[in-house]
Chains A and B, each alone.
Chain A
């Protein structure tokens, strides 16, 4: 976390909006867009919540199983309080009143080409909605602007990815051509906006099994994030400032 803070403050100069939309106590599910080839956006969100929220809440991120398969990464992830993105873990965390962060786009989001930036991908099967409904935790939509441009992915070396067992292998204007130097993210200016929470306690307990409602809620969250993204993009003066 201390290592992430300079990146957060100096490098990406993250600006946080709407932090008051995160409840001071009790469980809540933060749903965000996912971008940037390397999931730095999730880590920045974690720093943002902890440093700007008056209660200093810890965001517990749900990570893909790839994170826990990779050496070193899995060790750090566990110590940062991340856990595997599965319904059991999410339900347990929300049940204990923790703040849970999820990126339902998954690899589709971070591994999308640069040309599709800020276009939200499909939100999985909406599992996050049913988990939130069961735990009666509000859903807080969150939009991250700036992360898309840190590694502009212009190509995807599928063969290399398959060989390494990764979901994609990014090719950017600098990576892998410049070697380790190319792995340096571009210093873009970031904005993280937390939207109005969507309450879920108004629904009956059996609503979690209603697929129609789930799709509707998923779409509602998705639209909300997408609209906020567009709004933030219009307001942005330049990628780097």
Chain B
């Protein structure tokens, strides 16, 4: 007998991507897609049931279709089609409670997969450089989506205790990006000028949409030999990017603002309804957050196809170049540097040529430095020496052109 998979939050992009993928699985007999609103996209052969997971009706859906796998994706930070923050919170928290209540009464249920987020760790200066699944956050999130995620995970833990026969998998995703992502962070990166917090350069991690569906598929299937797919896992692409690197890759200038001013503007914009930039987003863009993905690799056996840098490159190419395209900028820097060294070195003809030849190399080496970060658990170690080279175009130039022998230490 094939499996019957129920997916919540099917009207959203991730739900859509996942439903398409899971339909291709030959072991899956039927896919039941659930959401409170009718999806704008075609769900193929999946059975769409319009149900609000905040209502007890979800229990009837579970029983009617004899569901054995529940994939709970309806834990999100933003409302669909102009809903308010309170309704999002209700869907996240009350919806999860109802769903878990229904799951508990369903005798056929074998497997539960819940989408969570690395926001449960918060972002604070007192945090360790890298979070593992067992790290307890120094400061619990005070509100917003992060608090929802913490509460959802709490209920899921309670459920796992009450139904030990159900395999429960909680996936904590880093910031999800893809060509068509529409999260607050994605819209932030699409701004023509990126406001940043003065004096902070946070380390960020991204995970590609394709990897999200990949890991969801793996978690909702029977585990492969030698792997285990129940438990809590951090899901993130390899490596880290700093916000300044992101801005340069997007070709967008940054506008550093003092932290109190950022907080004030953020709350003002929220009150006026101009943007939904939450305090936790501001904290993320101030202190950053990096998680350890060793559990994902070694226990879950999942290897993301896209690293953080590749994910970002994919997103950046879809978003289109900003006012300062990286290639143009690099060429300009090279020309400037060539002029400076040319004048300083007493008109040495070779320097100029070398400087020009490095125009393309500068850019590629920036990418290489970022992607060649130590893999595995060391996913994102504090910006080491090598990232200094990627830190500013000028210092990258000095490493590639080799004018200073000891340049990697130039910070």
Which of A's residues lie within 8 Å of B, judged by CB?
1-3, 50, 58, 65, 68-76, 78-84, 86, 88-89, 92, 96
User: Complex Cα distance A71/B109, Å?
Assistant: 50
Residues of B within 8 A of A84 (CB): 125-129
Known A82-B382, A84-B129: A75·B410 in contact at CB below 8 Å: no
A68 to B203 alpha-carbon distance, docked (Å): 13
A3 to chain B: which residues have CB within 8 Å?
A: 411
Q: Mark B289-331, 1 if CB is under 8 A from A, else 0.
A: 0000000000000000000000000000000000000000000
Contact of A89 among B128, B200, B374, B385 (CB under 8 A): B128
22 contacts between A and B (CB under 8 A): A1-B388, A2-B411, A58-B384, A58-B385, A68-B125, A68-B287, A70-B199, A71-B197, A71-B198, A72-B198, A74-B200, A75-B200, A76-B411, A78-B201, A78-B383, A81-B384, A83-B382, A88-B130, A88-B132, A92-B129, A96-B374, A96-B378
Are the C-beta atoms of B200 and A71 separated by less than 8 Å? yes
Q: Cβ of B391 and Cβ of A1 under 8 Å apart? A: no
Q: By the criterion CB–CB under 8 Å, are B383 and A81 in contact?
A: yes
Residue B259 interfacial (CB < 8 Å) = yes
Q: Are B200 and A50 in contact (CB under 8 A)?
A: no
Return the CB mask of B360-377 against A: 1 if under 8 Å, else 0.
Answer: 000000000000001000
Q: Which residues of B contact A78 (CB under 8 A)?
A: 201, 203, 382-383
B227 within 8 A of A: no
Q: Is B387 located at the chain interface by the 8 A CB criterion?
A: yes
Minimum CB–CB distance from A95 to chain B (whole Å) comes to 9
Question: Smallest Cβ distance from A216 to chain B, in angstroms?
Answer: 28
Closest to B406 in A: A2
Contacts of A69 in B (CB 8 A): 125-126
A3 to B395, CA, bound (A): 13
CB < 8 Å A-B pair total = 71
Nearest 9 CB-CB pairs, A to B?
A: A71-B199, A72-B199, A68-B125, A69-B125, A1-B409, A88-B128, A75-B201, A83-B129, A2-B410
Q: How many residues of B contact A (CB 8 A)?
A: 28
Query: B-side interface residues toward A, CB under 8 Å?
Result: 125-130, 132, 135, 197-201, 203, 259, 287, 374, 378, 382-385, 387-388, 391, 409-411
Q: Is the CB of A81 within 8 A of B382?
A: yes
Cα-based distance from A166 to B102 in the complex (angstroms): 52
Cβ contact within 8 Å between B199 and A89 = no
B254 to chain A, nearest CB (A): 13
Question: Which label, helix, strand, loop or mixed, suits the secondary structure of the B interface?
Answer: loop
Report if A81-B385 is in contact (Cβ < 8 Å); known contacts: A71-B198, A75-B199: yes
Q: Which residue of B lies closest to A93 (CB)?
A: B381
**Contact (A68, B130) CB under 8 Å given A2-B411, A50-B409, A79-B387:** no
> Contact: B383 with A74, CB < 8 Å?
no
Given A71-B199, A72-B199, does the pair A79, B125 have CB atoms closer than 8 Å?
no
- 13 more contacts with CB within 8 A, not counting A71-B200, A71-B259, A82-B382, are A1-B410, A2-B410, A2-B411, A71-B197, A80-B411, A81-B383, A83-B129, A84-B125, A86-B128, A88-B135, A89-B128, A89-B130, A96-B378
Complex Cα distance A92/B381, Å?
10
For A2, A68, A79, A82, the residue with the greatest tally of chain B CB atoms inside 10 Å of its CB is A79
Taking CB as reference atom, which chain B residue is nearest A47?
A: B409
How far is the CB of B149 from the nearest CB of chain A, in Å?
A: 21
Bound CA span A71–B200, Å: 6
Nearest Cβ in chain B — how far from A4, in angstroms?
A: 9
- Contact with B388, one of A74, A79, A88, A92 (Cβ below 8 angstroms): A79
Residue of A nearest to B126 (CB): A65
Residues of A within 8 A of B287 (CB): 68
Q: How far is the CA of A96 from the CA of B385 in the complex (A)?
A: 16
- Whole-angstrom distance from the CB of A79 to the nearest CB of chain B? 5
Q: How far does the alpha carbon of A71 sit from the alpha carbon of B388 in the complex, in Å?
A: 18
CA distance A50 to B269 in the complex (A): 47
Contact (A74, B128) CB under 8 Å given A81-B384, A88-B135: no
Q: How far does the alpha carbon of A79 sit from the alpha carbon of B390 in the complex, in Å?
A: 10
Q: Are A65 and B411 in contact (CB under 8 A)?
A: no
Which among B129, B259, B374 has the highest number of chain A CB atoms within 10 Å?
B129
Return B391 CB to nearest CB of chain A, in Å: 6
B410: chain A residues at CB < 8 Å are 1-2
CB distance from B334 to the nearest CB of A (A): 20
CA distance A86 to B409 in the complex (A): 25
Report A105 CB to chain B, min CB distance, Å: 20
- Please give, as numbers and ranges, the residues of chain B lying within 8 Å of A80 by CB-CB distance: 411
Query: In the complex, what residues of A have CB within 8 A of residue B388's CB?
Result: 1, 79
Residue in A58, A68, A78, A83 with the greatest tally of chain B CB atoms within 10 Å: A78
Which chain A residues border B384 with CB–CB below 8 Å?
Answer: 58, 81
- Give the chain A neighbours of B126 by CB distance below 8 A: 65, 68-69, 84
| Minimum Cβ distance to chain B for residue A206 (Å) | 20
